[in-house]
């Protein structure tokens, strides 16, 4: 906080400075100021500040001041600092100077050098100060200071504690000015884009206030648009200042770009337009730019704004109330948004029949309960409303008028809703064609905006236009699909005109974000930090906030592709040409998207337009957070809570034996930290009653919901919770707590499953989010969730798990992750935190107090970096529950074991289960496709290649090809699997490693289902009983246990490796008693899978040579016995076992002639089942053909050839040839 003993000086003044003056005065600081004649505009405001000391010169203001804040431009800086009454003359020893200026970095560096020469102890900081405009920092002053770290931190003390002021210490000297340059670039481009968009929209016949009202709340919005347009429409005199300021700032950016040799095509053309806008000059004062723009665009926007206005949203409300009901809806185009829209209509009670050229999508729609047809023509018969949601005008024309098109068979009076983004001209022409049919077919122009998620949720923004009758027929459907519905007057084409304006702005804003971030990279700014700061600044746009994270993550998963804006800005270009409206900035943005498409990035996310700049200039925008040393981070944390709450947890569990923890596990890997716990794979009420009657501390219900769509997962959780409620009522005195066990790398259906549980169980006091999982290397520290990779900690949002096709996310900060996954329903600010400091310094009681203080229905995340942290939290949570609090937990595995007081035990080996040697091989099934699994499979092949048989399942064959191809692939794998297992070979059945994804998360889940079901069918048809089974991947292991092995329940014996559960399947399963190892896809280092396989593989066979060498070393003899029949074999083995001694079974050529291969196989089988080492060899053979006959048997163990006399036998001096099969 600023100290009353320290003086703060200001040199120069503007509106923002006055706010800072007032803030310092309120803090108790002594404030002096010098205001040059050029800045006298602020004098009136300064006169109202009580306690402000006005000074006659910069030197007087700086005298005895610990901090001097200077506002200047390049022209007057020397005189201000070094003149006769300049700042340097009055600067006291050790004072800090914060300069706000328009100086370029090179000029600032010269100033720093000169100041150091004249005042060696002066401390100079570069500052960028602006008014915060985000919801988070609204009406606050943001101070970004850069320079020597110690100086920047020293200056912080002056700003800390000031009301309405936020201070950032940011990077080396000149960093702040560079950040300002990037913001000014964005402001200038957004300025001209807003002008072009408004004039284009007005020329299209749309009232400018309607455009402003809609775009301000849409994806095309920017802070400049929101601020500029009202000035534009009202002919505000401040518009001239706005223009001149933007032009001046743009000129500095252009100078900087020239200095670092960096192309800025968007800013270049925007700068020329700013110059053009201020080109009408009367004397020394610029005339209003409206005169210039009216001449350029041929539109008087002020006159247009004065025309009668209407409320587009109120018209929509009235329409919905008066709209007609529709029973049968046809829907053409089940793409990313179309599928969501159609499925939402289905859930809303409409009968929907759909068509799409992509057949798997139609299958998915059928599975949801919809109906599909084979062509637009088939679909269009008897529908009341036909919705078209295809990619472009060509497709729209094709489905309506092409071969097997819809229009010829449409019933009279049908309404056609066109929701594709097409040109207004196309809509107008289509309406005329439909009118020419003379069958009263009505067209509604209804483009949509909002993205895939909003389409599925029915929360789109929809602009609609058409005749009153057409709109009344379509009103109910449009209302069901939208959160914001606007009715645009002007007939068909009007709504598409508004969408065109939105797309102009959206496209320019994406391209300008790319230009800005690439320029920032050239300026050596930390791009991720820059993004965080500019979110609060004037240069921010909706698209900047939404698309720049894709650039920073170098993740171009297509949510909206580059080619979309090639099309949409192409519409803008064509319509502007027809309207004779020049759109310079939009045209350059269009060319950038075309360049991206031509470079092969057309199907990438539209944010990939930044790659045009990266490729051209060699910069990299990607802003990965620095990797942290796990050891350093963990050592930096406070010491753990000194007491061990685990004993208390066990005691509480025993005292509350009728309080049962029920864990709904979205895949089988949630049993990673428990042992001696039962798992149910079915949940009828009777089974749950039976489980409750046992009064266990805990049991798991395997839902496998991660393999389902969100809708199906919610229905499943609701069903299970209802059954739990019913079962608990049948067991007197029993109660339970539900835990939703989810993925420790944050994948899965959140918040959908939590919402589903609460809808049945009732509102909770709080939701607890706790993904800590020590065995998997998952840590939550300072609210950031990390995944350990060797000795590094990687933020979860930077890992391959965050790029999951079905459950991808961006945020590593759990508070931000909650906001992201709830789509803003729960904001970051609303999420509470239990910190590691609280756990380790204040203990369980503080946890209890914190949980009890939470507002009902809130969300709380838990930081943890050790099992002790988890136990402390669990103890505090139990205390809160004993006080009557109810919580719903979404956690990883570690929470469960901590909550019920289970202490870990070492990994289990075959010997621990008393398993004997078996005659069959093991079965390893790998379905997980995450990169970690692929690396583990590669290492398994490397380490166990000689003893392992690999059968690769083609993902393409089982998920993308015909049913016949799929069946052939499954049969091939089954045949090989049976053969290998019978011959004692450990067999790896692995899906091909090339990941195949769908166009949407739902399609990706469908492909996953097909692959998983193929693996299930393979294991179901393998009838050879394996020695053990390993299932790799959560979905894979669940499906194999329940569907292939038909297990209805299992017992968790422990773990085969840390984080790798080992189950004993119930007696009803196909292979009871066979160990079932559930290996998660995201656990372990690269060698983890190989380690488990080696531990569980058949014991290695000892050779005759090694047997004899062991005897020589141990000083004992080994008997070698010729055997001629099964009785002899049995006698030798029985005697060896009785004496606990090794033995050799010898097959003489004469015995081989008599007994043949069956004798050989009998010897080998007896040796393998013996409890002592037994080997088999072929004795004194001289015939090559006789020798090769037994060798040809796959199970033959070895071959002994005596090359010397039998007298050498006693000394073990022989040569031995071993053959391994």
Contact 900, 661 (CB under 8 A): yes
Task: Determine phi and psi for 372, rounding to 5 degrees.
Answer: -130, 155
Neighbours of 403 (CB within 10 A): 8
Task: Say if CB 997 and CB 946 are below 8 A apart.
Answer: no
How many residues can be counted in the chain? 1221
DSSP-derived 3-state class of residue 930 = coil
The order of strands in the sheet holding 165-169 is 53-54, 30-34, 7-11, 65-72, 96-101, 123-131, 141-146, 165-169
**Terminal-to-terminal C-alpha distance of the chain:** 80
**Sign of the alpha-carbon torsion through 504, 510, 511, 512:** positive
Dist CA 512 CA 271 (whole Å): 13
Distance, in Å, from the CA atom of 661 to the CA atom of 488, rounded to the nearest integer, reads: 56
Burial bucket for residue 38 (CB in 10 Å: 0-12, 13-18, 19+): exposed
Any bridge partners for residue 355, and if so which?
332
Q: Specify whether the CB–CB gap between 1030 and 1095 falls below 8 A.
A: no
DSSP three-state, residue 112: helix
Q: Which of 498, 588, 586, 509 is nearest to 541 (CA)?
A: 509
* C-alpha span between 832 and 862 (Å, rounded): 9
Cβ partners under 8 Å of residue 903, min gap 6: 646
Which residues are CB-contacts of 877 (< 8 A; sequence separation ≥ 6)? 768, 847, 848, 851, 887, 899
How many DSSP H helices and E strands does the chain contain? 48, 41
- Of 905, 893, 911, 902, whose CA–CA distance to 1075 is shortest? 911
Residue 1: Cβ within 10 Å count: 12
Helix 175-203 crosses helix 238-260 at what angle (to 10 degrees)? Answer: 130
CA 846, distance to chain mean position in Å, is 33
Helices 710-729 & 752-761, crossing angle to 10 degrees? 30
CA 175 vs. chain centroid, Å, equals 31
- For residue 271, the surrounding DSSP H or E stretch is helix 265-277
Under DSSP, the state recorded for 975 is H
Q: Where are any strands of DSSP class E within 856-947?
A: 858-862, 887-891, 923-926
Q: Could you tell me if 288 and 279 are in contact, meaning their C-beta atoms sit under 8 angstroms apart?
A: no
DSSP state letters, 190-255 = HHHHHHHHHHHHHHTT--HHHHHHHHTTSTT-BHHHHHHHHHHHHT-THHHHHHHHHHHHHHHHHH
Kindly state the tokens that stand for 443. Answer: 């067209």
Is 499 part of the annotated catalytic residue set? yes
- Contacts (Cβ under 8 Å, ≥6 apart) of 225: 190, 193, 194, 197, 215, 216, 505, 541
Cross-strand bridge partners of residue 34 = 11
| Catalytic residue from among 119, 499, 630, 1032 | 499
> Residue written as tokens 């309120």?
26
Cα 220 from Cα 1055, distance rounded (Å):
53
Compute φ and ψ for 282, nearest 5 degrees.
Answer: -115, 105
By annotation, the residues acting in catalysis are 499
């Amino acid at each position: 906080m600023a100290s009353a003993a320290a003086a703060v000086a200001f040199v120069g003044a503007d509106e923002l400075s006055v706010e800072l003056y007032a803030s310092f005065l309120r803090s108790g600081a002594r404030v002096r100021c010098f205001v040059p004649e050029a800045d006298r505009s602020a004098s009136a405001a300064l006169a109202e500040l009580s306690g402000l000391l006005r000074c006659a010169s910069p030197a007087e203001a700086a005298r005895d001041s610990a901090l001097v804040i200077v506002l200047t431009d390049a022209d007057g800086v020397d005189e201000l600092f070094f003149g006769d009454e300049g700042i340097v003359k009055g600067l006291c020893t050790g004072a800090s100077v914060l300069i706000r200026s328009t100086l370029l970095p090179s000029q600032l560096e010269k100033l720093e050098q000169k100041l150091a020469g004249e005042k060696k102890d002066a401390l100079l900081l570069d500052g960028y100060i602006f008014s915060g405009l985000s919801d988070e920092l609204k009406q606050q002053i943001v101070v970004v200071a850069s320079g020597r770290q110690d100086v920047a931190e020293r200056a912080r003390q002056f700003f800390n504690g000031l009301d309405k002021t936020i201070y950032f210490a940011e990077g080396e000297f000149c960093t702040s000015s560079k950040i300002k340059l990037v913001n000014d670039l964005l402001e200038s481009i957004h300025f001209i884009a807003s002008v072009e968009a408004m004039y284009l929209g007005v020329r299209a016949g749309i009232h400018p206030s309607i455009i402003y009202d809609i775009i301000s709340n849409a994806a095309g919005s920017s802070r400049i648009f929101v601020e500029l347009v009202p000035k534009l429409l009202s002919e505000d005199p401040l518009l001239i200042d706005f223009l001149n300021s933007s032009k001046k700032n743009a000129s500095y950016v252009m100078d900087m770009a020239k200095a670092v040799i960096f192309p800025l095509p968007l800013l270049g053309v925007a700068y020329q337009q700013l110059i053009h806008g201020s080109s009408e000059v009367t004397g020394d004062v610029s005339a209003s730019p409206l005169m210039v723009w009216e001449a350029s665009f041929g539109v008087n926007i002020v006159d247009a704004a004065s025309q009668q206005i209407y409320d587009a949203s109120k018209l929509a409300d009235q329409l919905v109330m008066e709209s007609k009901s529709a029973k049968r809806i046809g829907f053409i185009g089940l793409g990313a948004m179309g599928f969501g829209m159609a499925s939402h209509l289905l859930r809303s009670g409409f009968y929907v029949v759909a068509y799409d050229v992509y057949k798997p999508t139609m299958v998915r729609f059928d599975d949801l309960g919809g109906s599909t047809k084979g062509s637009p023509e088939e679909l269009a018969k008897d529908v009341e409303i036909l919705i078209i949601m295809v990619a472009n005008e060509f497709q729209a024309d094709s489905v309506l008028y092409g071969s097997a098109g819809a229009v010829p068979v449409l019933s009279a009076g049908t309404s056609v809703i066109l929701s594709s983004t097409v040109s207004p001209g196309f809509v107008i022409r289509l309406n005329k064609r439909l009118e020419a049919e003379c069958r009263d077919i009505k067209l509604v122009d209804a483009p949509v905006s909002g993205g895939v998620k909003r389409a599925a949720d029915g929360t789109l923004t929809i602009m609609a236009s058409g005749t009153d009758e057409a709109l009344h027929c379509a009103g109910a459907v449009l209302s069901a699909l939208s959160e914001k519905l606007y009715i645009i007057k002007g007939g068909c084409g009007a709504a598409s005109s508004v969408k065109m304006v939105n797309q102009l702005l959206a496209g320019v804003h994406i391209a300008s974000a790319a230009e800005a971030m690439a320029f920032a990279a050239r300026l050596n700014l930390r791009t991720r930090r820059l993004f965080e700061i500019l979110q609060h600044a004037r240069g921010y746009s909706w698209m900047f906030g939404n698309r720049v994270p894709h650039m920073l993550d170098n993740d171009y998963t297509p949510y909206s592709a580059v080619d979309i804006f090639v099309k949409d800005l192409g519409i803008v270009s064509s319509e502007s040409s027809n309207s004779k409206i020049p759109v310079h900035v939009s045209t350059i943005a269009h060319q950038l998207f075309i360049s991206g498409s031509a470079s092969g990035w057309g199907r990438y996310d539209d944010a990939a337009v930044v790659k045009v700049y990266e490729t051209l200039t060699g910069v990299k925008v990607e802003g990965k957070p620095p990797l942290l040393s796990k050891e350093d981070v963990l050592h930096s944390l406070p010491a753990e809570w000194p007491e061990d709450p685990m004993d208390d947890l066990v005691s509480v569990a025993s005292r509350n034996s009728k309080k049962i923890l029920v864990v709904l596990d979205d895949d089988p890997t949630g049993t990673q930290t428990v042992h001696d716990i039962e798992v149910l794979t079915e949940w009828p009420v009777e089974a749950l009653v039976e489980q409750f009657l046992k009064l266990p501390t805990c049991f798991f219900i395997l839902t496998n919901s991660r393999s389902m769509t969100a809708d199906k997962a919610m229905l499943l959780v609701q069903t299970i919770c209802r059954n739990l409620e019913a079962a608990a009522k049948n067991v007197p005195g029993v109660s339970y707590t539900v835990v939703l066990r989810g993925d420790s790398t944050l994948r899965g259906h959140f918040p959908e499953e939590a919402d589903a549980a609460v809808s049945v169980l009732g509102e909770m006091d709080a939701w607890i989010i706790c993904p800590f999982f020590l065995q998997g290397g998952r840590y939550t520290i300072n609210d950031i969730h990390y995944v350990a990779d060797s000795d590094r900690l990687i933020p979860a949002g930077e890992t391959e798990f965050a790029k999951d096709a079905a459950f991808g996310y961006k945020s590593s900060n759990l508070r931000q992750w909650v906001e992201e996954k709830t789509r803003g329903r729960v904001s970051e600010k609303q999420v509470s935190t239990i910190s590691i400091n609280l756990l380790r310094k204040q203990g369980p009681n503080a946890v209890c107090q914190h949980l009890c203080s939470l507002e009902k229905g809130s969300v709380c995340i838990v930081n943890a970096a050790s099992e002790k942290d988890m136990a402390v939290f669990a103890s505090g949570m139990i205390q809160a529950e004993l006080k009557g609090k109810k919580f719903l937990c979404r956690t990883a595995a570690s929470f469960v074991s901590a909550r019920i007081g289970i202490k870990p035990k070492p990994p289990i080996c075959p010997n621990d289960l008393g398993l004997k040697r078996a005659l069959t091989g093991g079965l390893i099934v790998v379905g997980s496709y995450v990169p970690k699994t692929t690396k583990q499979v590669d290492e398994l092949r490397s380490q166990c290649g000689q003893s392992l048989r690999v059968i690769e399942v083609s993902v393409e064959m089982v998920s993308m090809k015909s049913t016949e191809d799929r069946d052939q692939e499954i049969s091939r794998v089954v045949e090989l699997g049976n053969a290998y297992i019978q011959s004692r070979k450990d067999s790896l059945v692995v899906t091909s490693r090339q990941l195949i994804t769908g166009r949407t998360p739902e399609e990706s889940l469908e492909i996953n289902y097909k692959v998983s079901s193929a693996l299930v069918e393979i294991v179901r048809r393998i009838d050879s009983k394996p020695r053990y089974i390993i299932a790799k991947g959560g979905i894979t292991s669940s499906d194999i246990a329940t569907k292939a092995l038909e297990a209805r329940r299992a017992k968790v014996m422990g773990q085969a490796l840390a984080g790798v559960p080992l189950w004993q399947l119930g007696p009803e399963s196909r292979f009871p008693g066979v160990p079932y190892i559930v290996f998660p896809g995201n656990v372990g280092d690269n060698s983890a899978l190989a380690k488990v396989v080696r531990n569980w593989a058949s014991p290695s066979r000892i050779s005759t040579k090694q047997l004899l060498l062991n005897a020589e070393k141990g000083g004992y003899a080994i008997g070698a016995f010729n055997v001629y029949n099964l009785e002899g074999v049995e006698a030798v083995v029985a005697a060896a076992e009785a004496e606990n001694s090794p033995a050799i079974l010898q097959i003489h050529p004469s015995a081989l002639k008599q007994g043949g291969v069956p004798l050989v196989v009998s010897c080998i089988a007896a040796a393998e089942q013996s409890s002592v080492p037994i080997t088999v060899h072929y004795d004194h053979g001289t015939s090559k053909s006789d020798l090769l006959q037994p060798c040809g048997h796959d199970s033959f163990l070895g071959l002994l050839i005596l090359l010397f006399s039998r007298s050498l036998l006693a000394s073990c001096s022989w040569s031995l040839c071993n053959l391994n099969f």
